[in-house]
Amino acid sequence: MKRVILYVDDELSNLRIFKDTFRRDFDVLLASSGAEALEILQNKRVDVVITDQRMPGMSGVELLAVVNSRFPSIPPNRVILSGFAEDADIKLAFDQYRLSRFIPKPWDYDVLKLEIINAFSNIE
Amino acid sequence: MKLSIQFGYKIGICLLVCMSLIGEIRAQISREYLISGLIYKFTNHIEWPENNRVVFQVALFTSKDEISKNLYNISRSKKINDKDFKIVTFTKADSSILAFDVIFVGEDFASEYVRIFDLVERKPILLISENLSDKSLVMINLFDKSYTELSYEINKPNIINQKLKASNEILIMGGTEIDVVSIYLKSQRTLRSYEKMNMEYRKDLDSVQELIANNEEMLNQQKIFLTQQFAEIEEQKEFQAGQIFKIQQYEQELNSKSAYLNSQKNLLEKLTDSLIGSQHLLNKQYVEIRNGQYFLDTKTAIIDSINREIFRRNEILSSKDNVIEKQNFIMQGLYVAVGLSVTAAFIILSVLWLIRKKNMKLTLQKERIDYLNAQLLENNEELHASLDEIQLMQKQLIQSEKMASLGVLSAGIAHEINNPINFVYAGINSLLRDFKDIEPVIEKISQINPDSDNIREQLLEIEKLKEENYYYDAIEAIPTIINDIKIGADRTAEIVKGLRRFSRTDQGSLVPYDLHDGLETSLLLLRNKYKHQVQLIRDYDTEMTELMCYAGKMNQVFLNIISNAIDAVSDNGQITIKTRLKEQMVEVSIKDNGCGMDKDMLAKLFDPFFTTKPVGQGTGLGLSITYGIIKEHNGKIEVFSEPGIGTEFIISFPKV
């Protein structure tokens, strides 16, 4: 069975490209906002969450905080933050929410895939 | 014979003579036989309350068979209270004894007596004991008076307590009544001894309490000590608060000092202005003095020429003198004429002397003017130097403001560029993988041999390959991804173009300037700052013409004002940008519904170094530079603001 990844980004192009890049390796679920992501998390099994930091409404770090408190089935070491973020925000995410990784954009296929696989290995 | 007092007897207090001796029974017959007889006798002298019992029940707690045997024998021929009676022997007391009317507890069951007494208390059951020591529990007690003599005693109150009635004849058989008074006294004594013990215990308790009190006192002392310590801590806190207050005061002082320094700087600028003015005045005066000097010089020249003329005439006169001397001889009559000439010469000489004196005075004046002039020149040089310095400082300040706003911008722009770059970068990666998927399929297709007869097989093989390689997924994805890459590239190019437009270096000359283009450039650079929380309303005049501007500087004006507006509005704010072409002027209004400003802030708005932002986030130069740029364009800037409602900046420029 393929692992399930949820990718959250407010840029539709990023969503499409991510899905096309990783559709061979994983089951990719997409959400264009934090709220949408939380709805998917409520209804479907998700193994790893990758989220953009700067989004309207709910930022990546804020989403991480909610996932931490509401979805203990996805431990924070299986959440990856992406994009361009203020240093202070990333530090908060690492310190307080035990974030797994921060990957700056633009992402490289091999690096990102490796990080996702590393995150899966945190399941066991 | 014995005398005793009865307590609580129904008939009242009466004295009875007890004839104990009569009841004494000799021990010629066996003791057990006697006991059984007495039990029978007692029961017949006791009156039970009415009951509908057919058989009278007697319980025996004794191991002596003779007693029960005898009683049994009696029961065969005799009755108790006109009823047949039945004897049951017990070895253990339980609630079943409540069904009996008389219970005998032998001395071998003395340990059970109290329990039995408690069980039957206040029920119509008669207890007969044997050699019981606690007289207070006796109803009827059989006791050995001496080794050979069996007697009995009665405690009437206890019998009455059982709702039974003992007839007086019961004592006639030889029993005694128990002295309840002495029992009472005895129990009082016991009670008193208990009380004594109690007192001792109380003493012990008191000492323990004293100990506790001591401990409490110690605790209280510790509490007081703690309270003191708390108070000390509070004091220290207050002291610290005082120190903080002092620090704040120092800060305020520092602020007021820096404000003072600013005002000094303004004063210096004003002084510089007035110095420049006075320098102009001095220059003018200098020119006037020069003119005056020139005038004097020409006058001196005239006087000199007059002098020379006088000298020449003198010479002529002296040569004429010679002629006159010569003629003296010839013309004696001419003496009078000579005398006249001498007088004339004297007059001329005196005039000459007067002119000389005036000349000297003029020279002195000239020297003084020269000295003043030199001083003026020196002052002038100093002024130039300080002016240069001030201009250099101003340039540096403007540069630092520009760097600061660039710093704020660059973070936003980096993110703004990051996403479209990601479309391109990640998109190409994805495209490559799609291509790898379809590559073998294309290869296979190109290898089809149309002449062979297994075309169908080949096509099937291709179809299988397609499915293995997610061929259709890739074919579906490719155009979308290409489009996303194009979006990314376009957006990146747009941002770079905006940056280039913003930082135009044509500051030296006026160039044609598209106002709407400039506004859009500023908005593009600020997009990241406002896109999530601000609603932007553009109200552009479609008739707008091109202006002649220092384009880079003008962009800086709009960037400054729009950036301030974004800072002023909170989430869900609104910014309206309106342009209007008027008869003589072009007007730009930038209006927000943000926090607004009060009168004090408005008054200081264009002051250099005035900022509402925390240290390090604003130089306080933005609007003062904006003001300078607008003045440079002969424009006007007006601000309308109200706290809680919003702020509007209206900038207007002449059309040409």
Instruction: Give the pLDDT of residue B512.
Output: 87
- Is the model's pLDDT at B283 over the cut of 50? yes
**What is the Cα B257 distance to its own chain's centre?**
32
Average pLDDT in the B541-569 region? 87
Spatial separation of the C-alpha atoms in residues B42 and B140, rounded to whole Å: 9
Spatial separation of the C-alpha atoms in residues B102 and B127, rounded to whole Å: 6
- Is the model's pLDDT at B142 over the cut of 80? yes
Q: Which of B419, B433, B481 sits opposite A11 (nearest CB)?
A: B419
* Cβ within 8 Å, pair B418-A105: yes
For residue B540, the SS3 value is coil
Among the ranges A81-85, A97-101, B1-5, B510-514, which has the highest mean pLDDT value?
B510-514
Average pLDDT in the B173-180 region? 77
* Cβ within 8 Å, pair A17-B481: yes
Spatial separation of the C-alpha atoms in residues B130 and B140, rounded to whole Å: 9
Q: Which residue of A has its CA nearest to B528?
A: A54
Instruction: Give the pLDDT of residue A94.
Output: 77
Q: Is residue A26 within 8 Å of A4, Cβ to Cβ?
A: yes
Q: Which residue of A has its CA nearest to B531?
A: A56
Average pLDDT in the B595-613 region? 82
CB neighbour list of residue B285: distance below 8 Å, 6 or more residues apart: none
- Is the model's pLDDT at B292 over the cut of 50? yes
Spatial separation of the C-alpha atoms in residues B176 and B174, rounded to whole Å: 7
Q: Which helix (H) or strand (E) holds B393?
A: helix B335-446
By mean pLDDT, which of A58-62, B441-445, B618-622 is the weakest?
B618-622
Confidence of residue B4 (pLDDT cuts 50, 70, 90): very low
Q: What is the pLDDT of residues B32-82, one digit of tens each?
A: 888 988 888 888 888 888 777 788 889 999 988 889 888 888 888 888 878
Spatial separation of the C-alpha atoms in residues B561 and B564, rounded to whole Å: 5
Nearest residue to A64 (alpha-carbon basis) of A75, B308, A73, A56:
A75
* A chain contacts of residue B426, beta-carbon cutoff 8 Å: 14, 17-18, 21, 106-107, 109
Spatial separation of the C-alpha atoms in residues B519 and B562, rounded to whole Å: 9
Confidence of residue B16 (pLDDT cuts 50, 70, 90): very low
Spatial separation of the C-alpha atoms in residues B600 and B451, rounded to whole Å: 93
- Is the model's pLDDT at A124 over the cut of 60? no
**What would the two tokens of residue B214 be?**
């001591």
Average pLDDT in the B267-285 region? 72
Average pLDDT in the B392-420 region? 70
Spatial separation of the C-alpha atoms in residues B315 and B335, rounded to whole Å: 19
Instruction: Give the pLDDT of residue B586.
Output: 93
For residue B616, the SS3 value is coil
- Is the model's pLDDT at B129 over the cut of 90? yes
Chain B interface disruption, residue of A20, A23, A27, A59, most B CBs within 10 A: A20
Spatial separation of the C-alpha atoms in residues B154 and B42, rounded to whole Å: 10
A14/B contact by beta carbon, under 8 A:
yes
* B chain contacts of residue A14, beta-carbon cutoff 8 Å: 419, 422-423, 426
Using the CB atoms, write b or e for B407-438: b if 16+ within 10 Å: eebeebbebbbbbbbbbbbbbbbbbebbeebb
* B chain contacts of residue A105, beta-carbon cutoff 8 Å: 418-419, 421-422
Instruction: Give the pLDDT of residue B411.
Output: 60
- Find tokens 């000799």 and name the residue: B26
Q: Is residue A40 within 8 Å of A29, Cβ to Cβ?
A: yes
Q: Which of A16, A21, A84 sits opposite B480 (nearest CB)?
A: A16
Between strands B46-47 and B547-549, the pairing is: unpaired
Confidence of residue A64 (pLDDT cuts 50, 70, 90): confident
Which ipTM was obtained for this model?
0.84
- Is the model's pLDDT at B23 over the cut of 70? no
For residue B80, the SS3 value is strand
Q: Tell me the shortest Cα–Cα distance from B477 to chain A, in angstroms.
A: 7
Spatial separation of the C-alpha atoms in residues B23 and B170, rounded to whole Å: 10
- Find tokens 């069975």 and name the residue: A1
- Is the model's pLDDT at B22 over the cut of 60? no
Average pLDDT in the B396-420 region? 69
Q: Tell me the shortest Cα–Cα distance from B527 to chain A, in angstroms.
A: 13
Instruction: Give the pLDDT of residue B20.
Output: 37
* Cβ within 8 Å, pair A109-B425: no
**What is the Cα B313 distance to its own chain's centre?**
110
Supply the DSSP string of A36-60, one letter for each residue: HHHHHHHHS--SEEEEES--SSS-H
Distances (CA, A) of B319 to B313, B316, B350: 10, 5, 21
Q: Is residue A21 within 8 Å of B485, Cβ to Cβ?
A: no
Instruction: Give the pLDDT of residue B1.
Output: 39
pLDDT mean across residues, chain B:
82
Spatial separation of the C-alpha atoms in residues B140 and B127, rounded to whole Å: 7
- Is the model's pLDDT at B192 over the cut of 80? yes
CB neighbour list of residue B166: distance below 8 Å, 6 or more residues apart: B45, B46, B47, B154, B156, B159
Q: Is residue B552 within 8 Å of B504, Cβ to Cβ?
A: yes
Average pLDDT in the B547-556 region? 85
Instruction: Give the pLDDT of residue B402.
Output: 63
Q: Is residue A48 within 8 Å of A117, Cβ to Cβ?
A: no
Nearest residue to A25 (alpha-carbon basis) of A124, A122, A112:
A112
Q: Which of A23, A84, A106 sits opposite B415 (nearest CB)?
A: A84
Q: Where are the beta strands (DSSP E) in B63-101?
A: 84-90
**What would the two tokens of residue B480 be?**
């979308």
* A chain contacts of residue B414, beta-carbon cutoff 8 Å: 84
Structural domains of chain A, count: 1
- The CATH code of domain B506-654 reads 3.30.565.10
Tell me the residue range of the domain where A93 lies.
4-121
Instruction: Give the pLDDT of residue B618.
Output: 62
For residue B546, the SS3 value is coil
**What would the two tokens of residue B448 be?**
């089809």
- Is the model's pLDDT at B141 over the cut of 50? yes
Instruction: Give the pLDDT of residue B27.
Output: 43
Spatial separation of the C-alpha atoms in residues B455 and B461, rounded to whole Å: 10
Q: What is the pLDDT of residues B219-236, one digit of tens each?
A: 888 888 888 888 888 888
In A, residues 23-42, which contact B (CB 8 Å cutoff)?
Answer: 23-24
Phi-psi region of B81 (alpha: psi -120 to 50; beta: other; left: phi over 0): left
* Residue-range domain boundaries for chain B: 19-178, 186-330, 331-503, 506-654
For residue B158, the SS3 value is helix
For residue B534, the SS3 value is strand
**What is the Cα A84 distance to its own chain's centre?**
14
Chain A interface disruption, residue of B408, B410, B425, B429, most A CBs within 10 A: B429
Instruction: Give the pLDDT of residue B236.
Output: 86
For residue B507, the SS3 value is coil
Q: Is residue B477 within 8 Å of B511, Cβ to Cβ?
A: no
Distances (CA, A) of A73 to A34, A69, B287: 18, 10, 93
Instruction: Give the pLDDT of residue B481.
Output: 93
Confidence of residue B2 (pLDDT cuts 50, 70, 90): very low
Spatial separation of the C-alpha atoms in residues B480 and B450, rounded to whole Å: 33
Instruction: Give the pLDDT of residue B382.
Output: 87
How buried is residue B346: exposed, middle or buried, by Cβ count under 10 Å (0-12/13-18/19+)?
exposed
Please, what sign has the CA dihedral across residues B396, B399, B404, B407?
negative
For residue B295, the SS3 value is helix
Spatial separation of the C-alpha atoms in residues B630 and B635, rounded to whole Å: 5
Q: Tell me the shortest Cα–Cα distance from B577 to chain A, in angstroms.
A: 23
Q: Which of B415, B481, B532 sits opposite A20 (nearest CB)?
A: B481
Q: Indicate the residue type of A87.
A: D
Instruction: Give the pLDDT of residue B529.
Output: 77
Q: Is residue A101 within 8 Å of A80, Cβ to Cβ?
A: yes
Instruction: Give the pLDDT of residue B412.
Output: 62
Angle at B243 between CA B242 and CA B245, to 5 degrees: 65
Nearest residue to B120 (alpha-carbon basis) of B133, B139, B135, B107:
B139
Q: Assign domain B19-178 one CATH number from 3.40.50.2300, 3.40.50.1220, 3.30.1310.10, 3.40.50.880.
A: 3.40.50.2300
Counted across chains A and B, CB pairs separated by less than 8 A come out at: 68
Spatial separation of the C-alpha atoms in residues B255 and B259, rounded to whole Å: 6
**What is the Cα B21 distance to its own chain's centre?**
102
Q: Which helix (H) or strand (E) holds B559?
A: helix B551-568
Instruction: Give the pLDDT of residue B408.
Output: 60
* B chain contacts of residue A53, beta-carbon cutoff 8 Å: none
Distances (CA, A) of B546 to B247, B515, B543, B549, B655: 55, 7, 10, 9, 9
- Is the model's pLDDT at A104 over the cut of 90? no
Instruction: Give the pLDDT of residue B647.
Output: 94
* Cβ within 8 Å, pair B427-A108: no
Instruction: Give the pLDDT of residue B17.
Output: 32
For residue B518, the SS3 value is helix
Among the ranges B55-59, B273-277, B315-319, which has the highest mean pLDDT value?
B55-59
Size of chain A in residues: 124
Q: Is residue A49 within 8 Å of A28, Cβ to Cβ?
A: no
Chain B interface disruption, residue of A59, A84, A112, most B CBs within 10 A: A84
Query: Residue A62 belongs to a domain with what CATH number?
Result: 3.40.50.2300
Higher-confidence position of B178 and A15: A15
Average pLDDT in the B156-165 region? 87
**What would the two tokens of residue B455 be?**
């075309």
Spatial separation of the C-alpha atoms in residues B133 and B113, rounded to whole Å: 11
Q: Is residue B31 within 8 Å of B38, Cβ to Cβ?
A: no
How many Cβ atoms from other residues are within 10 Å of residue B469's Cβ?
17
Supply the DSSP string of A60-113, one letter for each residue: HHHHHHHHHHH-TTS-GGGEEEEE---HHHHHHHHHHH---EEEESSPPHHHHH
Chain B interface disruption, residue of A13, A23, A109, most B CBs within 10 A: A13
Distances (CA, A) of B279 to B269, B272, B371: 15, 10, 16
Q: Which residue of B has its CA nearest to A87?
A: B411
* Cβ within 8 Å, pair B418-A21: no
Q: Tell me the shortest Cα–Cα distance from A11 to chain B, in angstroms.
A: 8
Q: Which residue of B has its CA nearest to A15?
A: B423
Q: Is residue B502 within 8 Å of B451, Cβ to Cβ?
A: no
Average pLDDT in the B461-488 region? 90
- Is the model's pLDDT at B591 over the cut of 90? yes
Spatial separation of the C-alpha atoms in residues B521 and B192, rounded to whole Å: 110
% of chain B surpassing 90 pLDDT: 14
Q: Tell me the shortest Cα–Cα distance from A67 to chain B, in angstroms.
A: 22
Spatial separation of the C-alpha atoms in residues B597 and B647, rounded to whole Å: 7
